Structure 1
Amino acid sequence: MNPEATGSRTSLHRRIRPFRTGGMALGGVPMATVLYLQGAPPGSWLFLAFTALLWPQLAWLLARRSADPYRAEIRNLLVDSALAGAWVPLMHFSLLPGALLLTLTTVDKISTGIRGLWLRSLPGMLLAMAAATLVTGGAFDPETPMPVILACLPVLLIHTTSVALGSYRLIRKVGLQNRELDRLHRTDSLTGLSGRADWERHAAELLREQAPGGAAACLLLIDIDEFKRVNDRHGHAAGDEVLRAIGATVGALLRSGDRAGRIGGDELVVLLPSTPEPLAIAVAERLRSAVEAIRLDDYPDVRPTVSIGVAGCGASSTLRDWFNAADRALYRAKDGGRNRVVA
């Protein structure tokens, strides 16, 4: 058994079912081998049939029909450990199958990810072991014959492989979740552009990497014209649509290596590495024209435009200097009538 620890409470019994069914059937092979070599009575064989074949199905039915399947499955897992404990004396403490059974049963409890479950299973396991010892009269034969060793190998190999595969799937799942969280952390959810922390990090890298005499990087500071009026007249849903449309337009026009982000509110920024100012102005004009052509199906009266300030980083010693230079150019664009580019 190796159910993933990250599954939901309600699906615990469904995740454990195949592992319990397969694990107990496999475990029945070395137990049957020990019973055969011991010449065990019919009662032991009946108990083996219950443990290896009937109990996994009964456990499934008990959990599925319970008002609280999660708690019912916890009880089933504790019963699993008690059954394992009982089988150690019934096999006359045969060393390898007994140790294998107790170890794998405990590992299964740990693999569920339920905190402290393996500790909670120990009292039941020890009590069942003590009761079975009384039933067998304390018969003790720890030697493990070769047929029993061979019967134990499939259990050891298959169980270890299933645990490894389960751990691999869990690691991959956690890795994918971590990458998605990192993407969400770096991305503005409304525009789909970089968040502020992400573009500021890239801007700082551009400043550090700026080579003397090389083509200066440029920063475009973009402000949506009359954005407050859009929100006031048409509602914030219209404002969100404008931001989404402009974000998609800006993202579609970026060149390889460019980086666009949202500062907050109605302001966006574009970083253009190794771009001289005349080329940056041309890029800004393309962005301005593309935004001017945006039409929103749900808000046909909304005609968004943007004002853009352009600044190169050649004379900027810090990110704040660079940003302030672009901000001054943006204010000149807005003072000049909006919907224009100023460097």
Structure 2
Amino acid sequence: MPSPKPRSRSEKSRARPASFFSFKRAQRAFGDSPSPEELIGKGVRFVKRIYALRVIGLSIGFFCVAAAFLQNPVGWPLWALLIFHGYIWPHVAYRVALSSKIPYRTERMNLVADTGFGGFWIIAMHGSLVPSAVILAMLSMDNIAAGGTRLFLRGLLGSVFGALIGLLLLDFRFAPEADLYTVVACLPMLALYPLALGKSTYDMSKKLAERSREFETVSQRDGLTGLLNRRYWESLLIEEFDACHEKKRSSCLLLLDIDHFKNINDTHGHLVGDEVLKNFSQLLKENLRTDDLIGRYGGEEFVVILQDISLREAETLAARLIEQVRQHRSSDNMLWGCTISAGLVSFHSDMEAHYSWLQRADHAMYQAKDRGRDCLVVEGR
């Protein structure tokens, strides 16, 4: 008999039972998405942030449960467990998380353990409505803030598990009414803990905003010279081109190339070449205006958008820059004898797009090369 034809991937997927997909969905909902290898050593700051919140929350929450215990008296073992959870557990959880291989994951387990305690206390308080609602709300806020929906769902399971343990171990009788003292004891938790959580969230969002600004700066700057990188500079050139069209503004484009730079790399090595590029970049910053947009276009080529300037003023500025390079090319080996060739082009309304402007500047710069280097060529002159 002929062997059966192997099934395609889609056929295999259709053949899998619905329970398989339900299991995979549940696994995605309750599991950690990063692999353990990616998380090793991660989460120390997370542990420290949760530690501060746990110390505040559990020390205040102690009084909520204690007031319910006074309303419905319990034995000393529950009081001892309450003292442990309120004032000892935060420090134990902190040490355990920091000493673990993956602090981030261990701390998330600690948060689930908190919800287990919460479910247990609800049973121990005989379902006293006000403190139970406060405890559940605060624990849910913790889990949502720390891990989103996944940790919240884990926390729900933890609360159910803790409640089941309470039902097995304790003599539960449903008594949802809370007296005035219990309600008053819950007020500090309602007032102070959200403030602490909000402050922690605000501090974290500030750090994230600062980090985002740092990443944005890195994405816009050339790593060696600190000037604008080519991609970001070209986006600014497009904006300037459009502004010149719409606002009839006069701007100029300056393209610069370091002469004989390849000889520097070949003779003295790339470290010296990098030093020349950094020194030249510093000269550009010192001799151009603060609002001029300076970029490294690639290799030893540099570009400058001279905003809101006449061609005559731009020519004077570029000539002064070339003279400064001549003066510094041998001083303490700052530029190792290099000069620059430059092309200068003012904006014209007949230019089709920003790249036309750039092409003209490039053409003017290569004319300077053809004329013997170490000079400036202005388009049309």
* 1:158-169 map, 5 Å: 158-169=192-203
The residue number in structure 2 matching 1:310 is 344
- Over 3 Å counting, the alpha-carbon distance change for 1:24 and 1:184 in structure 2 is same
Matches within 5 A, 1:261-272: 261-272=295-306
Q: How does 1:266-305 map to 2 (within 5 A)?
A: 266-294=300-328, 302-305=336-339
Q: Give matches, 1:83-232, under 5 Å.
A: 83-113=117-147, 116-210=150-244, 216-232=250-266
2:20 — aligned with what? none
| 1:249 matched residue in structure 2 | 283
Match in the other structure for 2:355:
320
Q: Looking at both structures, which has the greater relative contact order when contacts are Cα pairs under 8 Å and sequence separation is at least 6?
A: 1
Matched, 1:36 2:70: yes
- What's 2:5 paired with? none
Contact 2:93 2:110 in 1 (8 A): yes
Quote how far apart the aligned CAs of 1:271 are: 1.1
Q: Which amino acid aligns with 1:184?
A: V
Query: Contact 2:255/2:344 (CA < 8 Å) preserved in 1?
Result: yes
- Mark the runs of 5 or more structure 1 residues left unpaired by the alignment: 1-6
**Equivalent runs, 1:225-240 vs 2, <5 Å:** 225-240=259-274
Alignment partner, residue 334 of structure 1: 369
Per-residue deviation, 1:253? 1.9
Q: How many Å apart are 1:302 and its aligned residue?
A: 1.4
Post-superposition Cα deviations, 1:268-327, rounded to whole Å, max 9, x if no partner, equal: 111112222221111111211222233689857812211111111125332222222222
- How far apart, in 2, do the equivalents of 1:47 and 1:173 lie? 37
Secondary structure of 2:166's counterpart equals helix
Q: In terms of mean alpha carbon deviation, does 125-134 or 291-300 score higher?
A: 291-300
CA separation of 1:91/1:235 partners in 2, compared to 1, >3 Å: closer, same or farther?
same
Comparing 213-222 with 104-113, which one deviates more in the overlay? 213-222
Does the C-alpha gap of structure 1 residues 214 and 135 become closer, same or farther in structure 2, counting only changes over 3 Å? closer
**2:148 & 2:313 partners in 1: Cα distance?**
59
Q: String of CA shifts for 1:52-109, please: whole Å, max 9, x gaps.
A: 1222233234334445544543443332221111100111100111121122123212
SS class of match (2:295): strand
Cα displacement (A) at 1:156? 1.4
Whole-angstrom CA distance in 2 between matches of 1:186 and 1:63: 38
- Cα deviation, residue 153, structure 1: 1.3
Moved more, 59-68 or 228-237: 59-68
Distance 1:126 1:55 in 2: 20
- 8 Å contact from structure 1 (residues 24, 53) kept in 2: yes
- Look up the SS of the partner of 1:216 in the other structure: coil
Letter matched to residue 266 of structure 1: E
Alpha carbons of 1:171 and 1:294: their partners in 2 closer, same or farther (altered >3 Å)? same
SS in 2 for 1:342: strand
Which of 92, 97, 103 pairs up with 1:63? 97
For 1:335 and 1:318, locate their aligned partners in 2 and report how far apart those are by CA, in whole Å. 26
- TM-score w.r.t. the length of structure 2 is 0.81
What number of residue pairs does the alignment pair up?
Answer: 337
Q: Tell me which amino acid in the other structure corresponds to 1:77.
A: L
| Aligned-residue offset at 1:50 | 1.6
Q: In the alignment, which residue of structure 2 is the partner of 1:3?
A: none
**With structure 1 as the length reference, what TM-score do the two structures score?**
0.89
The one-letter amino acid paired with 2:236 is H
RMSD: 2.6
Structure 2, gaps ≥5 residues long:
1-40
Query: For the Cα contact (< 8 Å) 1:333–1:341, is it kept in 2?
Result: yes
SS at match of 2:328: coil
Hey, what's the Cα distance between the residues in 1 that align with 2:266 and 2:226? 24
Q: Tell me the SS of whatever aligns to 2:147.
A: coil
Instruction: Map Cα deviations across residues 145-181 of structure 1 (whole Å, 9 max, x no partner).
Output: 2221111111111111122112222222222222222
Whole-angstrom distance in 2 between the partners of 1:161 and 1:85: 24
Structure 2 counterpart SS, 1:303: coil
Give the whole-Å Cα distance in 1 for the aligned partners of 2:117 and 2:219.
48
Structure 2: distance between partners of 1:319 and 1:155: 61
